[in-house]
Every structure is written in structure tokens, then in C-alpha cells.
Amino acid sequence: MGHIVNTEREYRLLQQRLDKNITGAPYSPVFMQILKLLFAPAEAAIARQISLRPVPVAKLAGKTGIDKAELQEHIHTMAIKGLVFDWQHKGTDYVVLAPVVIGFFEFVFMRAREDLDMAALAKLFEEYMLKDDRFARDVFRESTQLGRALVREESLPDGDYSEVLDWEKATHIITAAPAIGLSLCACRHKATHLNKACAAPLRSCLTFGHGAQMLISKGMAEPVGAGEALRILADCKQAGLMQIADNVQNSVGFMCNCCSCCCGMLQAIRTFSIQTAVITSSWLAHIDTQRCNGCGLCVKACPVEAITLAASDSPNRLQAVCEQELCLGCGVCRLACKRGGIRMVKRAQQVMVPETTFDRMVSMAIERGKLSNFLFDDPSRLSHRALGRVASILERSAPVKALMATKPIRSTFLAAAAAKARQYTDR
């Protein structure tokens, strides 16, 4: 009986550990079932002790009391399943616990597999993510998000094309990537196991750079060249999918080709009215009332229902209307219109996108009150360079957000200093 209780405890501690991540993992009996399907009891006991930031495996071995070779085997098994990231750098093995998203949800469903009960997992993830809004509001709360909309370059007026920055162009992200991985769309793959997937291309998830190389090495992605990736992009556009990319300017890590019926980000907008779940592009759809004949093609094409049909000045004629506060600026509607009745216009204010993944994660952590969780799992390993980067982000933050972030930082440093002092006292 004690063994059962301890096993349950390990899973509960793992859930609490995952909930400290920036995107969260709120408790639910359904989520506990997901963890039990994914993590063996011994894996859960190890995983809940893995840092939210990279930690040397040798150090984790000392923390867990498990022989390093045995621990390495457990980590390898979890990495193949997509539950942790592991890699080697300058002869040292590192590991970090994957969040739920973007993390082990995607890595579980990015490929066809027989080592997990995919149908059961699909049903449980669907219930956890969509039965109520707790998980979605944890992931997508505040203003800095994981993904941003890319405007379709071909939807822009010729005169404005030069204003699009490189990191705003899907084609540039692909052609500039040092490595490209192609995977199954995790959201549509999940939907196939629920017998409700749409007809959109399944092999459509693109990853880039180091992330692509890691996924390729674990069998979660296949390597493709820029030419093949551009062809896939073109096919996805033809299918009416919108492009959502990593919300960073430098070293973009992923690009999704999303449908409104399966995509978790778009479902958060459509199902729970979390309008900021995806960062908009710097463009807006503008309806030309003289050319619009109210056919409704743009209404069907819009992935977030930002366009509706309303009565026009002409009798017995409908008119397309775009609600600018909802428009993501993807340009899908522009290409769906057969009469040239939609054009993309610049937003009044340039959309702010974090420069790097580190910047994005720090900004998200500040907004969600989790900066100390993200930075100080091991305060002694935070470099001066990283601290300087955090300080610069704090300086650019609103005063209230900066104050919220500074307090836990100070308390964590004091706790770390006290622990260090006790070390010397105990000698």
C-alpha cells in the first residue's frame, strides 16, 4: 500500500514541477492520467527532480542518488518518448524537463508510433485542453506568447513588400535555416485518433536549427532541404492554412501550418475567446466595399472568425466586415477573395517581437509571475551575461511588471546566499 501511495506522490510532484514552467500545467485528474501513460513510475520519480533549465546529468545523478549510467538509460528512454531534452555539449551530458507545450504534447504526436496508447492519449489531451479553459488560460495568459502570425508575402501590395522584415517572411525563415526538420502536425495527428481530423496536409510541421537537429536525432522529424520545405509551405497555403511561427526575431525555431479546426492556438481563440493566444502580424485586412459582393469566401477562409457578413447600403446585398481587434493579419482572406476586395494594410503600431528565445521566455515569466522559477532553479549557474540580459528586459518592462519580477528575484538571491553561508558554517 505504501508503494502505491509513494507512486501517486511522485506523479503529483511531477505535476507540480511541470506547473512551475512558464506555460504551466494545472492539476486535473485527467492530466494525472496523461502523466501515468507517458511516465513509468521510476521515470516520474526522476523527472520531477529535473530542472526547468539545463542541468548536467552527473549533477542530477548526485541529486537523485542513482548511478549515472543507470540514470542515463532512463533519460534516453524519456528523450525518445519526447518527455525530456538531452544533449551533449563540450563532453558534458545535459538534460532538461520538457514542458507540456511547446513540449511533450507536440513531441508525442509529431510522429506515428506504437510504443504509446495514442488513442487514449488523444482523448485525454483533448479533454484536458478543451473541456474547460484552465489549461488554455495558463498557457496563453498575458501578452507575450509562444507563436506569432506570419503575413502571406504574396498577399501584400507590391509597394509595401519591402517593408516586411526578414523574420516576418516565411520564405526567409526557411531559406536561412541551417537545418530543417519535417514532422506530422501534432494537432491534426491527435485529431486523427479522435476521428475528426480535417483534410489538410498532415506532414506540415517545420522546425529549424538546433531544435530540428534534436528532433531529427530522436526520430521525431525527418531532415528536408529548403526546396522541399518551400514546396510544403506552398501546398499548405493552397489548402488555406495560416502560418504561425516561433515568436522571436532571431533563430526562429518552428513554423506551423495551422487549420482553425485542429490547431490548439487557434482553438484557444475560437473556443475560449483568448484573443491574444497568437501574436498578430504587423498587417491588417481591409475590405474594399466597392469590390466586395458579399460572397462569403473570406468569412470561410478566416481562421479566427474575424470577418462576418453584414447588411450593406445596397438593398438585398451583404457586405464583408473585418473586426480589426480580432484580425491576426495572416492574409489568408486576401487570397481567398476572387474579386480583389481585400487588401492588407500596415497596422498603426509595429508589433513588438522578442529578439531571442531567452528574451521571450523572460518576458513571459515576468508577466506570469514565474521569473524566479525559470531563472533560479540553480542560482549559482546563472551567468553575468544572462543577468545582464534579464536586467535589460526589466528596464523595458512596464514599472508594475518590473516590480513584480524584482521581488521574487531578490528573495531567491537571499535564499541562495543563506544556503551558501550555511554550507561554509557546517564545515
CB-CB neighbours of 201 under 10 Å: 18
* Pair (214, 304) in one structural domain: yes
Mean per-residue pLDDT, 142-169:
86
* Pair (288, 265) in one structural domain: yes
- pLDDT at position 425 is 39
Q: Please check whether residue 191 lies inside any domain of the structure.
A: yes
* Pair (315, 335) in one structural domain: yes
* Pair (282, 419) in one structural domain: no
Whether the pLDDT of residue 423 is over 70: the answer is no
Q: Which domain holds residue 316?
A: 138-346
Q: Please check whether residue 303 lies inside any domain of the structure.
A: yes
Who wins on pLDDT, 410 or 3? 410
Q: Please check whether residue 185 lies inside any domain of the structure.
A: yes
Q: Please check whether residue 129 lies inside any domain of the structure.
A: no
Q: Please check whether residue 295 lies inside any domain of the structure.
A: yes
Report residue 396's pLDDT band, with 50, 70 and 90 as the boundaries. low
Q: Please check whether residue 417 lies inside any domain of the structure.
A: yes
Instruction: Output the DSSP codes for 335-374.
Output: HH-SSS-EEEEE-SSPPP--SSHHHHHHHHHHHHT-HHHH
* Number of domains present in the structure of the chain: 3
* Pair (267, 408) in one structural domain: no
CB-CB neighbours of 225 under 10 Å: 11
Q: Could you say which of 47, 74, 98 is where a domain stops?
A: 98
* Pair (204, 330) in one structural domain: yes
CA distances from 198 to 52, 188, 236 (A): 35, 7, 13
Q: Please check whether residue 155 lies inside any domain of the structure.
A: yes
* Pair (329, 365) in one structural domain: no
* Pair (283, 162) in one structural domain: yes
Please report, for the domain that includes residue 57, its CATH number: 1.10.10.10
Whether the pLDDT of residue 136 is over 60: the answer is yes
Helix axes 399-425, 384-396, angle to 10 degrees: 150
pLDDT tens digits, one per residue of 353-392 = 999 998 898 889 888 878 777 766 554 455 545 655 665 6
Q: Is 125 exposed, middle or buried (0-12, 13-18, 19+ CB in 10 A)?
A: buried
User: Structure pTM?
Assistant: 0.88
Mean per-residue pLDDT, 163-189:
95
* Pair (188, 41) in one structural domain: no
Cβ contact 214:205 at 8 Å = no
Residue 40 contacts by C-beta under 8 Å, 6 or more apart in sequence? none
CA distance linking residue 239 with residue 301, whole number of Å: 10
Q: Could you say which of 36, 70, 98 is where a domain stops?
A: 98
Query: How does the average pLDDT of the chain come out, rounded?
Result: 88
* Pair (274, 215) in one structural domain: yes
* Pair (273, 402) in one structural domain: no
* Pair (361, 337) in one structural domain: no
Beta strand 147-150 with 342-346 is unpaired
- pLDDT at position 393 is 63
Q: Please check whether residue 105 lies inside any domain of the structure.
A: no
CB-CB neighbours of 66 under 10 Å: 18
Q: Could you say which of 346, 380, 405 is where a domain stops?
A: 346
